[in-house]
Structures are given as structure tokens and as C-alpha cells.
Homo-oligomer: A and B are copies of this chain.
Amino acid sequence: MDIFTTIQEGRAQFSPSEQRIADILLGDFEFAVNASIIELAERANVSPPTVTRFCRNVGCQSFSDFKVNLAKTAFIGVRYLNPEAKSTEPADVAEDVITKAQNALFMMHRALDPVLLDKVADRMSRAEMVYSFGSGGNSSMIASEMQNRLFRLGSRVTASNDHNMQLMLTAAARTDDVIFGSSFSGRNHDLARCFTLARENGITTIALTQSGSPVAQAAELVVGIDLPEGVNIFRPTSTRFAFLAVVDVIASLVAYRNRKLSTVTLRHIKQQLVEHRDGDDRQILGD
């Protein structure tokens, strides 16, 4: 766990002096990370020893150890507290997009549950057939990425962004199949209907969506992604990066579980590409 979160979450248990220190850290990161213990102490109206003790409290060995830890999270942390891009100049916009993407990954990672992932990967890797559903642009991208990742590993998989097809595919699915569905809003009721139907038929359902949303409620296993949406309507949602990363994690886990099949299948694909394309076998699988 990063120190920034530790402070945020532990704030309530701190003594009054320590809370004042915490508030400065949370409020003015840039100052805190550059200040000496004396400056920080003065600003918080406490004595330097209190700052040292605070550092020990949050699990650091010393003030300098604390500052290093603070600075480490700063790369992500500072900016995720900061609001929007400074201007619409390319350099600022690029920094904004990239920082927000990194934040989305960072925050998703923080909330990710490995035990759940283990279960998801287990079901997926043992599925006879995987159906990957998602609509509306963002989730259709995720659904087809899931297909694109899994077929290389030897999984039988299809993706669909068509509500009617999804319903028909669900109705045609069998017990050992798995239905995976993505929904950014969690309000894709057609997808929820597929999940409900599938569960009635004893088919494993896995949702990648907002926790507690209708879609989440309908699915058996839910990988919850709950990130704040920025206020800038012109910037594409950075949450896509988090969704995409979850797809990659799941796909990697499935690969390790079906390592033999994955290896053989990947080799076959590579062979075809190299022979058929240009003999350069260092290029990635699929342009």
C-alpha cells in the first residue's frame, strides 16, 4: 500500500498534532515533498520531533525514508489531486491524457482483488467456450479485446456487441461455457438480462463493470471498476485503460493456467504470420 493512502485512511486515528501534519501532506503535496522537517513542523504548528514520530507512525523508519516514500507516490499522486490540463496546447493535453491514464491504472490496481481474479481466471481457463459481450463503443472494444487475447491461447471464444445476438448466444450456451460481459456504466440492461438468463441455466457469468450496478447485480463474479469520471467532456474516458488492463491480467492468468495449450497455439499463429508476412519473427502477434 502506498503511503499516501495510508495517511488518508489512517487520518481519523491520528492525534490532533498528527492530523495537522496529515492535512498539510494531503493538501500541499508539492510543499511537503520539498520541505525539511523544520519547515513542515512550523507550518503544522508542531515541533520537529512530532513530525519524526508521525513518520514512524505511518510505517517509515525516519523522516527521510518518509520523504522518499512520499515522493515515490508523487509521480502519480500529485497529479491525481490536480485538476485539468493547463491549456489546450499539445504538450499539456498529452500530459493530461497520459497522467489520467496512469492514474486510472493506479487506482484500479489499488482496488483490485487477487482472490477474485484467481476465481475468474480459473473459470475462464476451464471454459468449453467463452462468450464475450459488450456494446456501446467502449465495452465493445473491451469485449473484442477479450476475444483477441483469448483465441491466441487456444480458448474457444467469440465476441459480440449486438444485443440480439448476445441473447441468442446466451440461450444457446451450455453449462461449461462462460459468459463475460463488460459495461462501463453498469446500466446495460440487455447485458444484465443475458447474465440473468445464463445464471438460470447454471452458466458462469463474469462482469467487468461498476460495483453494485444492475449489471454487477446480475452477474455471478464481478470485477468492480469504480473510478471517478473526469469533468472534461472532450477527453476520452481514462477508465478504458483500467478496463483494458483487467482484460490483460485475466488473459495472462488464463495463459499461465493453460500454459501448454497457450504455448502451442501461440507458436502456430506466429509461424503462420512469419511465413506469410515477412519472416521477421520479432514482431508482435497480430498487427
Binding site for B on A (CB under 8 A): 33-34, 36, 64-65, 67-69, 71-76, 88-91, 93-98, 101-102, 105-106, 108-109, 112, 114-115, 117-118, 121, 134-139, 141, 144-145, 148-149, 153, 183-185, 187-189, 229, 233-241, 244-245, 247-249, 251-253, 255-256, 259, 262-263, 266, 277-278, 280, 282-287
Determine chain A's interface SS by DSSP, over half rule.
Answer: helix
Give which listed residue, B36, B141, B241, contacts A144 with CB less than 8 A: B141
Contacts of A69 in B (CB 8 A): 71
A248 adjacent to B235 (CB under 8 Å): yes
Q: Which residues of B contact A88 (CB under 8 A)?
A: 253, 256
A121 to B253, CA, bound (A): 38
Say which residue of B121, B237, B286 sits within 8 Å of A138 (CB atoms). Answer: B286
Which of B134, B139, B189, B287 is close to A188, meaning CB atoms less than 8 Å apart?
A: B287
Give every chain B residue within 8 A of A253 (Cβ-Cβ): 88, 90, 93
CB-defined contacts of A64 to chain B, threshold 8 Å: 36, 64, 67
User: What's the least CB distance linking A267 to chain B, in Å?
Assistant: 9
Q: A240: which of B75, B105, B244 is its contact (CB, 8 Å)?
A: B244
B244–A244 contact, CB under 8 A? yes
Closest Cβ of chain B to A118, distance in Å, is: 5
In the complex the two chains form, what is the Cα distance from A247 to B98 in whole Å? 11
Interface centre among A98, A105, A144 (most CB of B within 10 A): A98
A68:B71 contact, CB within 8 angstroms: yes
In the complex, besides A71-B71, A97-B249, A187-B280, 10 extra interface pairs with C-beta distance below 8 angstroms are A33-B72, A34-B68, A67-B68, A91-B114, A98-B109, A102-B102, A134-B287, A138-B284, A236-B248, A238-B248
Task: Please determine whether B139 and A148 come into contact, CB atoms closer than 8 angstroms.
Answer: no
Contact in complex: B185, A283 (CB < 8 Å): yes
CA distance A262 to B233 in the complex (A): 9
Chain B residues whose C-beta falls within 8 Å of the C-beta of A283 in the assembled complex: 184-185, 187
